[in-house]
Amino acid sequence: MAKLLYSATMSLDGFITGAGGDMSWLTEYIGPNPTVDDVIIRTGSLLVGNRTFRGDDPHKGTEHEGEPFGGGWDGPQFVLTHHAPDTSPAPGITFVGDLETGIAAAKAAAGDKYVNVLGADTARQCLEAGELDEVLVCIAPLLLGDGVRLFEHPGGTDVKLERLSLTHAPSATNLWFRVVR
Ligand SMILES: NC(=O)c1ccc[n+]([C@@H]2O[C@H](COP(=O)([O-])OP(=O)(O)OC[C@H]3O[C@@H](n4cnc5c(N)ncnc54)[C@H](OP(=O)(O)O)[C@@H]3O)[C@@H](O)[C@H]2O)c1
């Protein structure tokens, strides 16, 4: 059964984008990272928020612009949106209009691999629906000061996590957690 994994590269101060959705900061932190390589191999499908799908790309200007993980992964993507276009922009991309449908479709497509959840709003909803299994944060050594937070819950909450691993790469420190239910 597929598990849902929320993965992101985050600044030390907790942002997964810079101000205004800027992702150019990430480019210099995309380097050799065996933990990320492992996740990519173990990812069977993507559940992607539409702001991520349409947002800035750290691979902008390269031949891999617009491709998941900079071209390092290929497979079915399920994009959550209330405004699905009539046609898919590329093979393997399916627009879905609600979370439940998106999770079910992404899990079915992933088989026994991970559904990799991309986008903070999408991941929060998966968590609140009791569907998020794990979180992988690659902490990049910088402070962004503004942007989209890894996780936001107005009024606060208390989500317990159990650490599964701590690994180091030249460009990031990786923390992998299980969501305690
Ligand atoms: N640092 C990293 O590793 C990393 C990784 C991934 C993403 N990011 C960045 O994170 C940012 C996006 O995160 P985000 O939290 O702002 O947004 P997001 O989760 O990517 O996307 C949110 C959008 O998804 C659609 N959506 C969400 N829930 C839905 C539902 N239940 N039913 C139907 N549609 C739904 C809506 O799009 P519509 O308005 O079209 O309905 C909503 O505006 C981007 O800037 C991206 O570049 C960073």
Q: In 42-82, where does DSSP find H-type helix?
A: 50-53
| Distance between Cα 51 and ligand 1 center (Å) | 4
Q: Which of 102, 116, 109, 111 is nearest to 72 (CA)?
A: 116
Distance CA 16, CA 150 (A): 6
Q: Probe ligand 1: pick from 10, 57, 65, 81, max atoms within 8 Å of CB?
A: 81
Distance CA 129, CA 169 (A): 32
Task: Break the chain into its structural domains and give their ranges.
Answer: 3-179
| Distance between Cα 42 and ligand 1 center (Å) | 22
Question: Ligand 1 in contact with 118 (CB < 6 A)?
Answer: yes
Q: Does domain 3-179 have CATH number 2.90.10.10?
A: no
**pTM attached to this predicted model:** 0.98
* pLDDT in single tens digits along all 181 residues of the chain: 999 999 999 999 999 999 999 999 999 999 899 999 999 999 999 999 999 999 999 999 999 999 999 999 999 999 999 999 988 888 999 999 999 999 999 999 999 999 999 999 999 999 999 999 999 999 999 999 999 999 999 999 999 999 999 999 999 999 999 999 9
| Distance between Cα 164 and ligand 1 center (Å) | 26
The β-bridge relationship of strands 3-11 and 114-118 is parallel
Phi, psi of 7 (to 5 degrees): -125, 140
